[in-house]
Structure 1
Amino acid sequence: MQLVVARIGRAHGIRGDVTVEVRTDEPEVRLAPGAVLATDPATVGPLTIATGRVHSGRLLLRFEGVTDRTGAEALRNTLLIAEVDPTEVPEDPEEYYDHQLVDLDVVTVDGTPVGRVTEVAHLPSQDLLVVARPEGGEVLIPFVAEIVPTIDLDAQRAIVDPPPGLLDEGEAV
């Protein structure tokens, strides 16, 4: 299974370094030197990471064969894609890959059906489960332990304990 793990940003310096927007909880594994990543657009890659370092709070990568600023600028906005075993799970039992959450049935703690997870939206402040309602429309559920106390992958179900108004029609999320 392929997962997007980063997006290449602007060039940094003159030696081929680029900034990256990390999209994985395991950058030390997925974006380590020697990692070979597919790309989108596919015509750019695959790319092999030569070096990586943090500078002013941003991850900088350099790829094999990219030795100057011009080469680095040509990579801007390219998505980096890692091949991941679909049975692999994160080390932390409280973390999940997006593909594990998509298509889970969502029910309240009392068993009332809410809908089905269609995607996980990663926002700067927190992640949201995008849940398609059976009657149409969707609801955005903050993916925090207080609201989503249980993820049962064996039963393919997420149990939610929503605050008042979260699931009501016509109210803001």
Structure 2
Amino acid sequence: MAVDRRYASIVAIFASVLFAALAIAASGLISLFADREVLTETDAGPLVAPIMFVVATAALFAQLVAAATSPRRRGIGVARAMVIGAVVYLAFLLSGAIIYALGSGRPLRGILFLAANAIGPFAAAVGLLAALVALLYLILMSYRQSGGASRTPRWPWEDRDDRDREERD
């Protein structure tokens, strides 16, 4: 689905910001309605969760640009969107486990952190939202590649104005 790299990168930035906003909002809503903290480990520190979201967003951005500029595949790619969601899910969990293990000084605690959060609703929401945003992004890139956005969109009255000018000339 080879698309202009600059265009793909700009749209990927917007998609990544959308993902970050949706993931943070979903985590807040899940936390509110489930009466549960995003990280159940009280000794995790205040920066673990934000870093997890930043790493997940960066992983999504990299995957989106790579998918859009890849010359191999055409079409929307639902399977590719699911793979991107899985990669973001793993990046979210692994970054938290690594940071937690480094902060606590015990690698086993990082593995337990990973296992405890892998089955939680927050990581699942991150993965599902990443897959959804990736699917929408791939649809947009597929539309762009097929020539659907080849000319600037115009309002109907702009075409009438152009015809009126041509008739006067």
Give TM-score, length-normalised by structure 2.
0.24
Return the structure number with greater helix share. Answer: 2
Return the structure number with greater strand share. Answer: 1
Give TM-score, length-normalised by structure 1.
0.23
Between structure 1 and structure 2, the one with the greater Rg is 2
